[in-house]
Structure 1
Amino acid sequence: MGFPSPAGDYIEKSVTPNEACKWFSRPGQYLMCAGDTSWRAGIKKDAILVVDAARKPQEGSIVIATVCGEFCMKRMRLHPTLSLQSLDQPDMETLIKGGDLEGEETIIVGVVTHIINDATTDEFDDIPCI
């Protein structure tokens, strides 16, 4: 019934989760589950994070780091000094000196390149349904 949509040429086929995972199958890329919510970074608890261990962090990159053997998400700051900044409390910044974070061993595991949040909740919705 009727005529075909003029936008029919632009319809893309559906992507299965298996196909989507192939996009992130380069060596050095892996998936992590976010343990905490970070509102300012747009990360919900249990979001899937695509982490690239081969990517060099830039100013403002969200990184996964280990401090004393524990994983944490921080924002990399290169200027004016090399530091890791809390995602939700930007005034909480910790200086990195010679690869160490105030005397504790710090390792940058990788850079977060993609964040996949659960869209079925309205946690980020500015105008919730009435």
Structure 2
Amino acid sequence: MGFPSPAMDYIENRLTPESICGINSNSLIIETSSGFAVVERGSKPKTGDYVLVSWLGHNYFARPAGRALITEDGEAIEGEALDDVEVIGVVTWLVNRALDDEAPVM
């Protein structure tokens, strides 16, 4: 009862990882050694994108380069070895842990 508060015009939505990273039903959140990676399963990878792939029973982060995939450690997956690779999705966000940082910024 009464009139609405003028302060209602200045209320903002709370920031959440879902709203910042655009997480939806096609997204995967993968824990990494330095934090988390958000992987979009519905996106088609392009040259230069960071992708999550499954190869020989392990998951790897890699970048497509022509007809090859270059993993984080510099190994190239190419030729017939690509037959065993399954591209899971494109990495859209990398979120680093703040608590484990040895050089925090204030």
Note the aligned Cα RMSD (angstroms). 3.1
With the length of structure 1 as denominator, give the TM-score of the two structures.
Answer: 0.59
Whichever residue aligns with residue 65 of structure 2, its letter is: R
Aligned counterpart, 2:44: 56
With the length of structure 2 as denominator, give the TM-score of the two structures.
Answer: 0.69
Whichever residue aligns with residue 76 of structure 2, its letter is: E
Q: Per chain length, whose mean CA-contact separation is higher, i.e. which structure has more relative contact order (CA < 8 Å, sep 6+)?
A: 2
Q: 29, 32, 56: which one pairs with 1:31?
A: 29
**Is the counterpart of residue 93 in structure 1 residue 73 in structure 2?**
no
What SS does structure 1 have at the residue aligned with 2:84? strand
Contact 2:70–2:77 (8 Å) recurs in 1? yes
Aligned counterpart, 1:37: none
Contact 1:84–1:96 (8 Å) recurs in 2? no
Q: 77, 83, 90: which one pairs with 2:65?
A: 77
Change (3 A) 1:14 1:21: closer
Aligned counterpart, 1:119: 98
In structure 1, distance between residues paired with 2:16 and 2:26 = 22
Percent identical residues: 26
Q: Give 1:31 deviation, angstroms.
A: 1.0
Aligned counterpart, 1:109: 88
Change (3 A) 1:88 1:22: closer
Aligned counterpart, 1:65: 53
Contact 1:32–1:50 (8 Å) recurs in 2? yes
Whichever residue aligns with residue 15 of structure 2, its letter is: V
* More strand as a share of residues: 2
| Structure 2: gaps of 5 or more residues | 1-10
Q: Give 1:15 deviation, angstroms.
A: 1.6
Contact 1:73–1:87 (8 Å) recurs in 2? yes
In structure 1, distance between residues paired with 2:28 and 2:20 = 10
